Amino acid sequence: MAEKPEDLNLPASVVTRIMKEAIPDGVAVSKEARQAISKAASVFVLYCTACANSHATKVKRKTLLGADVLAAMGDMEFEHFVPDLKDSLAAFRKDQQEKKETAAERRKAAQAAAVGTGSTSGEADSAATNGQGAGTVSPAGENGMGADGRADEDGNPDEV
């Protein structure tokens, strides 16, 4: 948990950005009003989290789900927000699925490219960790090692 009550506040920059998007251009908001809205938003998030946690606990879960938050909104008598929240949750899930599919396509393309060049990602990873290209042996004297890649007992590279 937080050490100080101030640690529970939302970042002022995030609250300010949300406020600027919500109000028309040319409307000024005082510093005091920004702080009050920030504090109110922080209290709302904490209250919503507590209600969602209560709902999850009732069904014997420790993990909060989107359904718990939606149920909490009903418990807090904000049920008129639930349809919009469901739409936002569906859009978020769709976006996450698209990102996952895009990442999988990139991995497949990278693997296909690696197979086409005769190297595998495992070879590339091991080559990157030892500082050499895949399948290459550094000549004597480069990167402080001998041709066999080992140093003498005294720590000096082998001479060839």
Q: Is residue 142 pLDDT above 50, yes or no?
A: no
The lowest-confidence range among 43-47, 106-110, 115-119 is 115-119
Whether 152 and 158 have beta carbons less than 8 Å apart is answered as yes
- CATH code, domain carrying 39: 1.10.20.10
Rounded to 5°, angle at Cα 71 from 39 and 75: 65
Kindly report, residue by residue over 143-158, the tens digit of the pLDDT. Answer: 444 555 555 555 555 4
- At 112 the pLDDT is 87
- Convert 77-107 to b/e letters by CB count within 10 Å (16 or more is b): eeeeeeeeeeeeeeeeeeeeeeeeeeeeeee
Write down the pLDDT at residue 141.
46
Provide the number of structural domains found in the chain: 1
| 68, pLDDT greater than 70 | yes
Domain assignment present for residue 85? The answer is yes
**How high is the pLDDT of residue 153?**
53
Query: Is the confidence at residue 108, as pLDDT, over 70?
Result: yes
Query: Which is more confident, 125 or 106?
Result: 106
Residue 155 lies in a domain: no
- Could you list the residue range(s) of the whole structural domain that residue 64 is in? 5-125
Are 42 and 10 in contact by the 8 Å Cβ rule? The answer is yes
| pLDDT band for position 12 (cuts 50, 70, 90) | confident
Residue 37 falls within a domain, yes or no?
A: yes
Q: Which of 9-13, 14-18, 53-57 has the highest mean pLDDT?
A: 53-57
- Would 90 be classed as within a structural domain? yes
Evaluate whether residue 148 is within a structural domain.
no
Residue 153 lies in a domain: no
